[in-house]
């Protein structure tokens, strides 16, 4: 029962943080929506920041699984895997309830550079870029780290553009630009 309550609190908080924002979601709202008490919430999560970090960690695991699983399901060739990343994100952006990237959203709500949930957001994108670098190395790109940074910027920009204007076609445009960058990087290798 206790692990179910902890999971219910975390799931409820995650949904509210994503839908309403981290700062706009108070502990009282989480407790009410989860059907529990503050005492129970604080038993599992000693502070709201601890709850936010748990939310971001769980979201990071889920996102990594979706991204890696989506790439594997779509492509086996190295170049195609780099482009499949854009297809995976395109699906995520098209989903009902899309409100942007939880990590970009959390980082923009952070007041200070060293705030824990800002650091968790930065870490997610650093790990994501490392994976893109691995994919670029497997494709034998000329400058895999540079290509990974460029692709990551295209994805982040498309996410923000789609958040600002739904059905903007931003991820398709980003994918087209990525294909040019990837071809150049592979041709030069």
Do residues 73 and 94 share a domain?
A: yes
Give the domain extent around 36.
1-46
Do residues 92 and 184 share a domain?
A: yes
Task: Evaluate whether residue 51 is within a structural domain.
Answer: no
Question: Residues near 81 by Cβ (< 8 Å), separated by ≥ 6?
Answer: 71, 74, 75, 135, 138, 139
H helix runs in the chain, sequence order: 2-20, 27-34, 38-44, 48-74, 78-94, 102-109, 116-138, 144-164, 170-188
Do residues 168 and 82 share a domain?
A: yes
Answer for the pair 179, 187: CB distance below 8 angstroms, yes or no.
no
pTM for the predicted model, two decimal places? 0.89
Rounded-to-integer distance, Cα 50 and Cα 68, Å = 27
What CATH number has the domain bearing residue 171?
A: 1.10.357.10
> If we measure between CA atoms, which residue out of 167, 148, 151, 170 comes closest to residue 159?
170
Do residues 117 and 67 share a domain?
A: yes
Do residues 104 and 173 share a domain?
A: yes
Do residues 68 and 141 share a domain?
A: yes
Sequential pLDDT tens for the chain (189 residues): 467 999 999 999 999 999 999 999 999 999 999 999 999 999 999 999 999 999 999 999 999 999 999 999 999 999 999 999 999 999 999 988 899 999 999 998 887 777 888 899 999 999 999 999 999 999 999 999 999 999 999 999 999 999 999 989 999 999 999 999 999 999 865
Domain count, the chain: 2
Rounded-to-integer distance, Cα 55 and Cα 34, Å = 14
Residue 189 has a pLDDT of 58
Do residues 83 and 147 share a domain?
A: yes
> If we measure between CA atoms, which residue out of 116, 108, 66, 57 comes closest to residue 88?
66
**Which 8-state DSSP code applies to residue 115?**
-
What Cα–Cα distance (Å) separates residue 151 from each residue in 19, 48, 164?
27, 34, 20
Do residues 32 and 102 share a domain?
A: no
Do residues 35 and 106 share a domain?
A: no
Q: How remote is the C-alpha of 149 from its chain's centroid?
A: 16
Do residues 14 and 89 share a domain?
A: no
What Cα–Cα distance (Å) separates residue 83 from each residue in 73, 131, 165?
13, 13, 23
Rounded-to-integer distance, Cα 87 and Cα 149, Å = 18
Do residues 95 and 160 share a domain?
A: yes
């Amino acid at each position: 029962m206790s692990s179910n309550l902890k999971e219910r609190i975390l799931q409820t908080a995650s949904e509210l943080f994503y839908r309403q924002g981290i700062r706009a979601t108070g502990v009282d709202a989480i407790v009410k929506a989860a059907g529990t008490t503050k005492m129970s919430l604080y038993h599992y999560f000693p502070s709201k920041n601890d709850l936010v970090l748990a939310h971001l960690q769980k979201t990071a695991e889920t996102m990594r699984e979706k991204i890696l699983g989506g790439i594997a399901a779509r492509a086996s060739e190295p170049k195609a895997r780099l482009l499949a990343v854009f297809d995976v994100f395109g699906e995520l952006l098209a989903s009902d309830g899309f409100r942007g990237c939880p990590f970009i959203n959390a980082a923009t709500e952070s007041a200070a550079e060293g705030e824990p949930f800002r650091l968790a957001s930065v870490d997610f994108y650093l790990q994501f870029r490392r994976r893109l670098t691995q994919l670029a190395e497997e494709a034998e790109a000329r400058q895999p780290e540079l290509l990974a940074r460029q692709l990551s910027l295209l994805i982040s920009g498309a996410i923000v553009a789609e958040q600002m204007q739904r059905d903007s076609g931003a991820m398709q445009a980003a994918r087209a630009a990525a294909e040019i960058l990837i071809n150049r990087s592979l041709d030069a290798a």
